[in-house]
Amino acid sequence: MGCTADCIVLSLSISPPLPTAPCVVIAHAVVHPLVLLSVTDHHARSIQQRSSNKRVVGVLLGQDNGKSVNVANSFGIPFEEDEKDSKTWFLDHNYIEGMYDMFRKVNAKERMIGWYHTGPKLRASDQEINDLFKRFIARPVMVIVDVRPNTVGIPTDAYFGVEEIKDDGTETRKTFLHVSSAIEAEEAEEIGVEHLLRDIKDSTTTTLATRVAEQLASLQGLQSRISDIQKYLVDVSEGRMPVNHQVVYHLQDALNLLPDLNDGELTKSFAASTNDQMLVVYLSSLLRAVIALHALVDNKESIGLAELEEGGEGFKKKKVEKKDETENKTKS
């Protein structure tokens, strides 16, 4: 079953539009692990049913206090789209109303605050879907959850729909405003996630290997962010993208925090600090090797003494048996 975006908007025109929310700057969006697990399960079931890797769409539930959004729960909804034509898509809004009524009976504190999809990037139809959700809520948040297993870093990106006002006085344009997102969990969720990871994690790996793998993942995430910054600066310098002064100011602040390695005194102090740390690691390794050799020698010595004691007892036992045999022969 398929339908165009215009058809869906017309079908919802009977409900009065909600009042426009005041323009409030959103600080950040908090996504709970339960939402990530639900979205991943939704995407996995969709792949099994449709045998395709298309994105899935769902509704986000939680709280919006005006400055931050707390995404605590979610549920998937039927969604289909034409990969070749971004204007053709279908979303069952009756299913949204029915599911939201049931969730509201279970927990009245969790209200509809937005929607999600598994992108992993923005699509051309996202603005139309976001306008459709404005029929339910005044200011929906859109969260893109990257469900790919090789994802590095935080797998969520949060956006709010805004109208961009141009300096030349031309017509405003609808676009998405990116806001920071974080993964936070309550105590009950932390316990559940720990049990889940305990079942998934390979028990044969050591703690050192796990720590090295985590540091490697962090460095890969940092590298991907630096690559994005480099690509953005190249596009700006070549005129393919407009200059965003706020982004440039943040980059300037980050570069100002970097040390000046051309300074000889600073380089010397860095080298001295690194050498001191490496000296501690070297001495620790030597101490560990000496302790291991000492334990090996002690173990060898204890095993040798045990073998000598066992051999002495066996010799005495054989000597007593021969003496008894000699006495028996003499008596006979």
pLDDT in tens, 131-160: 999 999 999 999 999 998 877 778 899 999
CATH homologous superfamily for the domain 28-201: Cytidine Deaminase, domain 2 (3.40.140.10)
Whole-prediction pTM: 0.64
Q: Do residues 179 and 29 lie in contact, with contact meaning Cβ atoms separated by under 8 Å? A: yes
Q: Which sequence spans correspond to the domains of the chain? A: 28-201, 202-258, 270-325
Interatomic CA distance for residues 95 and 104, integer angstroms? 14
> Is residue 115 exposed (0-12), middle (13-18) or buried (19+ Cβ within 10 Å)?
buried
pLDDT at 25: 53
> Is residue 120 exposed (0-12), middle (13-18) or buried (19+ Cβ within 10 Å)?
middle
pLDDT in tens, 53-100: 789 999 999 999 888 899 999 999 999 988 788 788 999 888 999 999
pLDDT in tens, 194-235: 777 776 666 666 677 778 888 888 888 888 889 989 999 999
Alpha-carbon Rg for the chain, nearest whole angstrom, is 33
Facing residues of 75 across strands? 59
Interatomic CA distance for residues 77 and 57, integer angstroms? 6
Tokens of 302: 């204890």
**What sign has the CA pseudo-torsion 5, 10, 12, 13?**
positive
Query: Residue 70, SS3?
Result: strand
